[in-house]
């Protein structure tokens, strides 16, 4: 059977492609399991210094595959808490905790958990024709995959509530204008630009970027004093990396640095 997740490692970048295009890459339990495997493989490969996540076909990801979820009247449906605990939460945590930049190339519609999966990544590019839909409210659910946490922080409470309670389609351009994503790219340029960005990041000081990610992630919940302490600790760590030494040496010698990710 066709793999539902594709993993390609080249040039320091692990490209992970959601691959159920005829279902707009919506998630089954098997696909979650394959994605966990791919992320573990990428994480364990010492050559990988950036992860790029995208979708095959015309959609990015339509969230949970709902054909798995229809139940006869009166019958007991699946426990969605178990689904979240086993599949969606570990996925969001693993992207957040991955000690390298995670780039997302949103190639088409991102709906439900698919939208919030994209927003859990560090740098989100979207095709001009892509869109984001907090589709949960239309079927009686709440935004998951971190959406209730991520959305208000990215776009503010007023917009988060509008998106979550109305489930309207938000265009990629509006998402960029609201600061929800990094950048919109013309459709035919998306994968080239996302690939170039990921390959660039893979040549940068990976430890420093991982510590930067850790600090910014923590800032969403820390007060200033706690954050200043954290910056001290993480800067101490960054200052002990070989890439920091190389960065300063290259600057002083007026030459290009050669970062090794250590
Ligand atoms: O259950 C749990 O474990 C809890 C966790 C929940 C997390 C969630 O993500 S809940 C939210 C689930 N997702 C949705 O509600 C979105 C459903 N999809 C849509 O609303 C639309 O498909 C889109 C707005 C995303 C795209 O619309 P459009 O018109 O571009 O495409 P389409 O025709 O609707 O979809 C194309 C095909 O993909 C179609 O199949 P067909 O007619 O060609 O045989 C459609 O049924 C299928 N598809 C799209 N999304 C899903 C799906 N099939 C199963 N599950 C889907 N989520």
Which of 107, 111, 114 has most ligand 1 atoms within 8 Å of CB, for mutation?
Answer: 111
CA of 67 from ligand 1 middle (Å) equals 9
Determine which residue's CA is closest to atom 39 belonging to ligand 1: 23
Determine which residue's CA is closest to atom 21 belonging to ligand 1: 62
Whether residue 261 lies inside any domain: the answer is no
Contact status, residue 189 vs residue 172, Cβ threshold 8 Å: no
Place of tokens 């991955």: 98
Is 115 found in the same domain as 212? no
> For 104, phi and psi rounded to 5 degrees?
-115, 130
Does ligand 1 have an atom closer than 6 angstroms to the CB of 92? Answer: no
Determine which residue's CA is closest to atom 52 belonging to ligand 1: 23
Determine which residue's CA is closest to atom 17 belonging to ligand 1: 62
- The one-character DSSP state at 64 is B
Whether residue 260 lies inside any domain: the answer is no
Q: Return the structure tokens found at 167.
A: 């489930």
Is the reported ipTM for this assembly greater than 0.85? Answer: yes
CA of 127 from ligand 1 middle (Å) equals 19
pLDDT score at 2: 86
Distance of alpha carbon 101 from alpha carbon 82, whole angstroms:
29
The CA-atom distances, in angstroms, between 22 and each of 30, 57, 59, 208 are 16, 8, 9, 39
Domain edge (last residue) among 168, 184, 201: 201
Whether residue 257 lies inside any domain: the answer is no
Q: Which of 115, 124, 202, 123 is nearest to 164 (CA)?
A: 115
Is 125 found in the same domain as 175? yes
Whether residue 162 lies inside any domain: the answer is yes
Contact status, residue 149 vs residue 88, Cβ threshold 8 Å: no
CA of 31 from ligand 1 middle (Å) equals 15
Does ligand 1 have an atom closer than 6 angstroms to the CB of 25? Answer: no
Is 154 found in the same domain as 242? no
Whether residue 10 lies inside any domain: the answer is yes
Does ligand 1 have an atom closer than 6 angstroms to the CB of 63? Answer: yes
Contact status, residue 107 vs residue 87, Cβ threshold 8 Å: no
Q: Which of 149, 110, 148, 151 is nearest to 132 (CA)?
A: 110
Domain edge (last residue) among 201, 219, 236: 201
Whether residue 24 lies inside any domain: the answer is yes
Does ligand 1 have an atom closer than 6 angstroms to the CB of 102? Answer: no
For 220, the domain range is 206-252
Is 176 found in the same domain as 130? yes
Place of tokens 């979550």: 164
Q: Return the structure tokens found at 262.
A: 């250590």
Give the total number of structural domains in the chain.
Answer: 2
Please list the pLDDT of the chain residue by residue as tens digits (262 residues). 689 999 999 999 999 999 999 999 999 999 999 999 999 999 999 999 999 999 999 999 999 999 989 899 999 899 999 999 999 999 999 999 999 999 999 999 999 999 999 999 999 999 999 999 999 999 999 999 999 999 999 999 999 999 999 999 999 999 999 999 999 999 999 999 999 999 999 999 999 999 999 999 999 999 999 999 999 999 999 999 999 999 999 999 999 999 999 9
Is 197 found in the same domain as 120? yes
Does ligand 1 have an atom closer than 6 angstroms to the CB of 111? Answer: yes
pLDDT score at 68: 81
CATH number of the domain residue 188 falls in: 3.90.226.10
Is 231 found in the same domain as 150? no
Does ligand 1 have an atom closer than 6 angstroms to the CB of 83? Answer: yes
Which of 22, 62, 64 has most ligand 1 atoms within 8 Å of CB, for mutation?
Answer: 62
Is 188 found in the same domain as 247? no
Torsion, Cα of 246, 247, 249, 252 (10° steps)? 170
The C-alpha angle 239, 124, 224, rounded to 5 degrees, equals 45
Determine which residue's CA is closest to atom 9 belonging to ligand 1: 63
Is 231 found in the same domain as 190? no
CA of 26 from ligand 1 middle (Å) equals 7
């Amino acid at each position: 059977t066709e793999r539902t997740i594709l993993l390609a490692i080249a040039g320091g970048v692990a490209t992970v492609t959601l691959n159920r295009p005829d279902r707009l890459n919506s998630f089954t339990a098997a696909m979650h399991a394959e994605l966990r495997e791919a992320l573990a493989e990428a994480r364990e490969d010492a050559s990988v210094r950036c992860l790029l996540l995208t979708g095959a076909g015309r959609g990015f990801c339509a969230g949970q595959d709902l054909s798995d979820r229809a139940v006869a009247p009166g019958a007991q449906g699946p426990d969605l808490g178990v689904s979240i605990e086993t599949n969606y939460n570990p996925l969001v945590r693993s992207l957040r905790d991955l000690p390298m930049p995670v780039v997302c190339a949103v190639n088409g519609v991102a709906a439900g958990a698919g939208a919030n999966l994209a927003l859990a990544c560090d740098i989100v590019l979207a095709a001009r024709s892509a869109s984001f839909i907090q589709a949960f409210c239309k079927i009686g659910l709440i935004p998951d995959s971190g959406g209730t946490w991520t959305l208000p922080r990215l776009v503010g409470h007023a917009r988060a509530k509008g998106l979550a309670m109305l489930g309207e389609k938000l265009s990629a351009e509006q998402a960029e204008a609201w600061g929800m994503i990094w950048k919109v790219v013309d459709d035919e340029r998306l994968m080239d630009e996302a690939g170039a960005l990921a390959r660039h990041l893979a040549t940068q000081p990976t430890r420093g970027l991982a510590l930067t990610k850790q600090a910014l992630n923590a800032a969403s919940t820390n007060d200033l004093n706690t954050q200043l302490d954290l910056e001290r600790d993480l800067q101490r760590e960054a200052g002990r990396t070989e890439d920091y030494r190389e960065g300063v040496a290259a600057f002083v010698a007026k030459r290009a640095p050669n970062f090794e990710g250590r």
